[in-house]
Structure 1
Amino acid sequence: MSTSAFRTVVLDNGLRVVAVAQPQLHRAHVGLYVRVGSRYETVETNGLSHFLEHMLYRGTDRLKNAHDVNLAFERLGGYLYAATQADFGVFSVTLPPESLEQACALFSEVIHKPAFCDIEIEKGIVCEEILEDLDDEGRQVDADNLSRALIYGSHPLGFTITGDEKNVRSFTTEALRTHYVQHYNASSSVLVFSGAIDVDAAIELGAKSFGDLPRGERFQTVAPPFTQKKPRIRIVENMSSQTELRVCFRTIAENAAERPALDMFMRVLDDGMSTRLYHRICDSQGLCYDVGASYDGYEDDGVVDFVAGAQHARTTRVTEEILDLVRELGSEGPTEEELVKARQRHLWELSAMRDSPDDLGAFYAVGYLFDRFETPEEKHAKLASVTADEVRAIVRRVAQPERLNVVAVGLLENGEDKRLTDLVKGYSFK
């Protein structure tokens, strides 16, 4: 693995621009990453970041509607992509390299000059999206949303990204413009070019297209408090064929010194069907069709999530196996064979980013956005140096009862709800 040629500059307005070349590719990519999302909202404005993402692509003074915007990009060989996370938003386009200059000017127009047209139409679209997480009585049944509410409570990290219908229906053009000014500025953004580009030319293009983005101020966040004293559980009844289970441990932040050890822990747990989690629960015991584990990190906090869909009557058993597996790793640590495999797979994964302008662009942009940038080589060197004792230490730190939060959405009948509750409340780690 070798680092692709890249260059980073800070424009006069404070915007960070990074260009990373992948000359072997045949597509170019440009993306704007912004510190915007549900964690920057209040109860009253929850959902505004996501709604603003939708509204930015509805049109400009010149491009009168969403169709005109999409048509303009598609004529250049690409299409617009956008997504809102809890703590950042991304807007990007991937297209033939010969279209990059035209596309960048168009991209700049869409970001700089939103007309906020057809607001009522977009409200209807977003409200349809919100319904995907509700049951027919309007109750929240998305297990991921419920787990974040259980962990973070009234802190914005506990909010849903989309907000609710009441909020969305209340949003005005004035509210959109206020939120836009607060977040869509040079101090809160990173512009990235990747793929089949000339690095120096891309930097010049970034300065030409986004050098006039207002400097603004970087929106400050408040770290979530940690007040939990014992395990928490929430069971939500839902008519479904399986119970959606989330077993979550609140853990360290993205830029914590122990992050490489946590990454190694996650790879030993779940990096393919031969690793511990899938082998134990699916292959060996047939308790689930699929099970997974992931780390959801923020600049000041993080969560390890175990995700499974199980027969209602097996929910407690699956939870018990997950907790036992975590305890075993905290007591025994991984084997040397597991560490060797995880290091090699991590190296291959980073190398594979060279085949994707989107993935490599995101790697660089998010690192700069949250002031934790490192090259792929630097990232791998840290993970490769992790020892079994360091993995054991981070597991013992994270897998404590006061960090455990469990959500089950399904039909837990015939005492299954009590069995699960007793298991979770009785959880200990010694």
Structure 2
Amino acid sequence: MQHSILKLFKGDRVLWMVLMLLSVLSLLIVYSSTGALAYRVAQGNTLKYLFRQVVFLGTGIGVILLMVNVLPIKLYSKLAWWALLASIGFLLFSIAMRGTSFVSSSGRTLNFWGATFQPAEMAKISLVLFSAKILGKRQKTKGDLWEAFKKIIFYTAIVCGLIFISDFSTSALLFATIMTMMFCGRIPLKYLFSLVGIGIALVVTIYFTADLLPDSIGRVHTIKGRIERFINPPPPEASQGITQADYAKLAIYSGGIIGKGPGHSDVSNYMAAAYNDFIFAIIVEEYGLLGGIAVIMLFLIFFFRGVVIVRRATRTFPAFMVIGLTLVLVFQAMINIGVSSGALPVTGQPLPWISLGGTSLLFTSLAFGLILSVSHQNQQDKEVVEQPIMIKAPDEDYEIENDAVND
């Protein structure tokens, strides 16, 4: 029975180990960091958010097992275009309905009868799938690469532009991922460098003209303010109070080398996003610098296993898909870690698979499921190639292996 259950966990074993370790850490740190939240909104029921996280992680693992054991890789290639259109539709809907009960105050989350949904999370996965499909089909000539570049950039500009209105960090993260995918897809550097130049010029223009733009145009004033506070922190006498970034630095400092121990975080009682955007700081506070390094190592192992899966892929679409999805998750993790440690301006990126569950965690499970599905397909392809062909001699009652016949 136990052996049959283990057989369901197909694909890269190391990647499954990383996923399980991240799951254990997620349960521990979410339970610890949601104590204050539980007393504020759940009448002190500290088990509520732990149970919620167990449900989301269990659902995510169930989704991964379904994808690895049942759904074929070619299905995602067929659905890529329709998923992208649906993502654009949801993003347009969130913009059109902003200010109503259907959209949160930040503009990032849609509310449907008590259920919440972040269109940007769906857009990340769908745009990566679409770009992987285009790059996989157009690799033969320079003309193919030019056509691939034009089509990918057209839809990337639409998706990232719509996300930018309410979420600059996700827009930038997705843009960087698609750029790296095109670099790996042999798109000429002159195209990519020109695009980077345009992107930098656009960001600089928005930064210096933010004060002239109305508040209704996205979060440009918030973005500019965060960048200015990061570059030129206000003096203590001019401070408006302790920010979450300050609390995060305090948590990391107080954690020391070995930390205060599980469940002994003090800073999480004062941080509004201790269980989400700044969860890495709470990990360091409780498990010390060693715990923080361990988390970084898990994501580095995940990155290198993604590279291995890409190198073993026998088809172009799965290879580009794994490149994009691996980069999305690693970039997101590095941004969260950078923000928590004060190395980057404050953004709203959760730590993949560790932060308190929601839309982000479920779409992260889709990304893991796609990567593990490609890994499982690679193993199947290898078995087919290595399987010897048995040929029966016409007058002899024995079989000769393929290698012997060739010799």
Pairwise TM-score range, normalised by the shorter structure = under 0.3
Name the structure with the higher strand share.
Answer: 1
What TM-score, normalized to structure 2? 0.25
